Structure 1
């Protein structure tokens, strides 16, 4: 079977008896499978004539299923590779955009072409992540929010969240105005905690940074906040996770706390992105009403990684 897309007229995919590919035939070596084992019903008349000519030339040969399957699959990959290369070169020549290096999906590539070649500067407004809401300057992690709820439950203190500190650029995870105390939650990887033993390990999200450098920067930040006159209470992620692990009842109490139950969803995210849809843009809740968020999770990547292929 010839492949004509992307200028691959000279590439031949070949034929394989799909219906013959069963577990009991995996190591089959013997006479060629019957013609009905091939997908003849899906062939056009010219394709069927080409197939008959090929089948007549090989039907008396010994058929080694394992070798034929490997050959067929390798040829499939070669055709895909050549097709991708031809597509890439053609796309670059036409748009000056490399679809494989500059995009993840074809829709992403098309948008890149538009932005690079057609969109004029200062045309579109870019909405900030905090949606123009100065009360939420950055997105707080759920584990840090759990720690702040834990402090409220255990120590009965009134905390404000994500507070911009005076006279510096730092944002406190939590702040108690009464005692002038800054509460800082440190994610172990992000802040380079010593629970990661390879101190000179290059960080995956920044090749110019190491865990040791992050740890030192974290200590300097906390020290600077103290010098500004604040009391500082910090908690490392691994230490707090151990507290939760050792006290399941406390963990359940935190999980069921209203602030944790209400966190995690950015309702604006339902308006854009892949596989999203808003059924109603505005709804005023009456007593007893509930708004639902449905999340569709594709199993295709999971199946490709973990499932067995025969």
Structure 2
């Protein structure tokens, strides 16, 4: 009952202005006040009904589609600076994905010059400033390697 009242009231206001009412059902084939509780729920319902193909599951990766490979911000910034200073295109996680060379992913790769770019950041070197806590704990279940042993 309240839904009908709200729709009728909206139409009265729009008719008073002389404008045409926007009806969500006509645009999206979703009745947001009947089928959904939240705005995000209405958007998801419209997406599933109008864009998602049958028997398909839409799952966004944890890091989104752009950052398929985990690479630190500072590493990408370094690779972008190398691209700019050398005037060459380098493939990396920030502009697509990392390249595999002999079965191993590399941080950056310049195909024409067959040049590999590797950024060994704070984690590789056991930086005291960035990794203050748990420096004596094993890394990756390796009892011999800790942040203290990595520190140079």
Q: Same fold (TM over 0.5)?
A: no
| Interval of TM-score (by shorter of Structure 1 and Structure 2) | 0.3 to 0.5
TM-score, normalised to structure 2, is 0.41
Please give the TM-score of this superposition, normalised by the length of structure 1: 0.22
Max Rg structure: 1
